[in-house]
Amino acid sequence: MRRIFGTSAAIGLVVVGLSTAASPPVQAGPGDKAGCDSRTNGSVGKLLECVTLKGVLEHEQAFADIAAANGGTRAAGSPGYDASADYVESRLERAGYVVTRQSFDVYSFEEVGTSELEQVSPSAVAYTEGVDFAATPHSERGDVTADVTPVDVALGLGNASTSGCEAADFAGFPAGDIALIQRGVCTFEIKAENAAAAGAVGVVFFNQGNTADAARQGIPAVTLGNGYTGGLPAVSTTYALGADLAQTPGLSMRLFANVSRVRTTTENVVAETRGGDPRNVVMAGAHLDSVPEGPGINDNGSGSAALIEVAEQIAKVKLPHQVRFAWWGAEEAGLVGSTHYVTSLTAAQRADIELYLNFDMIGSPNYGLFIYDGDGSGFGLTGPAGSDDIEGLFERYYAERGIPSEPTAFTGRSDYQAFINNGIPSGGLFTGAEGVKTPAQAAKWGGTAGEAYDPCYHSACDGIDNLSHEALAINADAVAYAVFLYASGREVINAG
């Protein structure tokens, strides 16, 4: 059964910060930091001294080297991912953890060549891949030419598009047409499955356009997901192009998704302490896979590397609660690894997990310092009971350093979702993806207003230089701070 931690202790903490100066990657072992042995016991301040930016960057460099040796990617199901999992396993076994690798099936998706999108009538227009459109991740391969029918679109700023979310949206849809569907409310997978059931031969998705934010105007960075079974080829376009197509009478188009989608097997890597109460598990995770397009050194080498560094240092601390770290596979395919893990547990095993902490993109180069909004005060999307306490702990960490933070919504875009769905208190940190930094945020944290938090999000340029060392330093400490305080019983959550 789920338990509430024991009495909270006042700790009178003085937080010791990491050096944020850029450090070259080094080849250091997990136990060679002077003074970072048994003296970490019982002291969160000492633990934070031992968790270093230098250590995090060592792991980041290892991931970059692995990607470089394996076609520039660490995507799930690829040799680069397998080598990344080997690296994590070897480091955690050396640190003394019990390490397991949990295999599961996943679809390996790849763009194998140039995709095409052309207007056939009322006039001939060829659109540019990467500027106007892109193949939708986890589309099936296909080349179709057909009339195009818009599906319940809602154009203009402030719209709340539910285009394609319900079977009723396709009432009267002509079988054999290409469906033109707008982003919004439900997943692309649901929309495409509904289109397939209505007899569509392909899908053109376009962005929502409900705000002026680039994330809602450009080519949407979303996926059909690993569970997609609609069998249709699909591409995604900018809002401007989609809105234009939706208002073009007599529209026929050719859609060619030049992709490969093959079922394969990949793994999660899970490491847990040999000691501590297994009925009171503190769990922290980060996804290990990149997108096929790049090495994923921020997304999510940053969370994965910080987790290795914290795990290696906290292994030297005797804690009353068991600590379990996880490196998830196939997050980019639709949270596949974490979902498989949680659903494979028995009800009793899920109840033993006191809380889950998620770290996905914590070193974005144009960073914000965001905490998942467990109490719903920022976005109205609350986590399970106890998630508010996790948010409060991270808020306290930033406040003790005199660093401003902001909430970020539980939008279902990362691996906390399966834990939330099963009533496990959840929280974590995020430094931003394709969203755009505001002037107020630039005044808080520095960086450049009007640019994405991570301009290399889901791109080939997400390499070793695509990191803020300052954000990594701050957040690696935050990971250690939260894991230690919960696993030591010095911090309580009220799980109801």
Catalytic residues: 331
Count of C-beta atoms within a 10 Å radius of residue 141: 14
* Contact (Cβ atoms closer than 8 angstroms) between residue 410 and residue 420: yes
Torsion of CA 353, 355, 356, 359, to 10 degrees: -150
Helices (H), 108-255: 188-197, 239-246
Count of C-beta atoms within a 10 Å radius of residue 175: 9
Angle between helices 469-487 and 387-401 (to 10 degrees): 130
* Contact (Cβ atoms closer than 8 angstroms) between residue 365 and residue 336: no
Cα 234 from Cα 194, distance rounded (Å): 13
Angle between helices 53-68 and 469-487 (to 10 degrees): 110
Six-digit token string for 458:
């889901």
- How large is the C-alpha radius of gyration of the chain? 23
Looking at the DSSP bridge assignments, the partners of residue 284 are: 325, 357
Strand duo 259-272 + 178-182: pairing: unpaired
DSSP E strands in 122-233: the ranges are 125-126, 133-135, 142-150, 178-182, 202-206
* Contact (Cβ atoms closer than 8 angstroms) between residue 356 and residue 424: yes
Count of C-beta atoms within a 10 Å radius of residue 246: 21
Q: Closest Cα to residue 93, out of 85, 103, 81, 83?
A: 85
Element (H, E) at 326: strand 321-328
CA distances from 11 to 5, 256, 314, 405, 489 (A): 16, 61, 18, 22, 12
Cα 394 from Cα 391, distance rounded (Å): 5
Q: Closest Cα to residue 119, out of 111, 127, 128?
A: 127
**Side chain identity at 418, as an amino acid letter?**
A
3-state helix, strand, coil in the chain (%, to 5): 30, 25, 50
Residue 221, φ and ψ in degrees, nearest 5 = -90, 70
Cα 31 from Cα 38, distance rounded (Å): 11
Cα 240 from Cα 228, distance rounded (Å): 26
Contact partners, residue 40, CB within 8 Å, separation at least 6 = 46, 47, 50, 313, 314, 316, 317
Instruction: Reduce the DSSP state of residue 361 to 3 states and report it.
Output: coil
